[in-house]
Amino acid sequence: MFYILEVEDHVRVEPKHFGLPTAEAIEKQLNEDYVDSITKEFGHVAAVLSIGKIDDGIIISGDGAAYYNSEFKLLTWKPELHELVYGTISEITNFGAFIQIGPARGMIHISQTMEDYVSVNKTGTLSGKSSKRSLGKDDDCIARTVAISYKAGSPKIGLTMRQSGLGKLQWLDEDKKKKETAAKKTARKTEKTGGRKGGKK
């Protein structure tokens, strides 16, 4: 999920930025320090949106940089447990699929791709034995986040598509059409029987 965060922090402006106006120097330093960084607190920082209040700078003995207590806004993306995510399959493997969601990649284990027995076929797609449905690279999907780990720096995101309303967009369209067809058949049947259970008496 994307967030706009309001942050107050002491920004360490390196000497290479000293010739610039203070706000511009701080903006450059923030872009270098924050953009594309990943932390458990902020998630993935996508951009520095704006800079607000800037206090007078201070210099600490033995450090050539200047420090400015500043307020600024960041655009971040942070995965949340149980949230629905939209993404595109970026890779198929023997154990499942990787899906690009925002600036990160999540992993869907082969057992979580669909309600079926799934195997990898020669064309590099995942196929359901009974449903005959297939999942391949560049397919657009909706999944749910079921696990998040920050142990190795970048978050490891576990996903599932084995719930109602999840899966490849094409599957969801097919399911919707089936429900609409079934509803129409039920409506026609009800009209024929005059709305009475069991038909005519």
CATH number at residue 64: 3.30.1490.120
Residue 9 located in a structural domain: yes
Domain that holds residue 103: 84-181
Residue 119 located in a structural domain: yes
- Whether the predicted pLDDT of 199 surpasses 70: no
175 in the same domain as 90 = yes
- Domain limit, last residue, from 34, 54, 77: 77
174 in the same domain as 89 = yes
- In the block, tokens 């700078």 appear at 57
Could you tell me which residue, 109 or 60, shows the higher pLDDT?
109
Q: Which residues pair with 156 in a beta bridge?
A: 149
148 in the same domain as 116 = yes
56 in the same domain as 109 = no
103 in the same domain as 69 = no
Please tell me the pTM assigned to this model: 0.75
pLDDT digits (tens, 9 = 90+) for 29-75: 999 999 999 888 888 999 999 999 999 989 888 888 999 999 999 99
- Going by the DSSP 8-state scheme, the letter that residue 177 receives in this structure is H
Alpha helices (H) in the chain, listed in sequence order:
22-34, 169-192
93 in the same domain as 72 = no
175 in the same domain as 98 = yes
91 in the same domain as 170 = yes
94 in the same domain as 72 = no
The strand ranges marked E within the chain are: 2-13, 38-39, 43-54, 58-59, 66-77, 84-93, 96-101, 104-109, 118-120, 126-128, 134-135, 140-149, 156-160, 167-168
- Domain limit, last residue, from 43, 77, 111: 77
% the chain with pLDDT above 70: 95
128 in the same domain as 92 = yes
41 in the same domain as 125 = no
pLDDT at 195 (0 to 100)? 57
pLDDT digits (tens, 9 = 90+) for 136-149: 999 999 999 999 99
Number of separate domains in the chain: 2
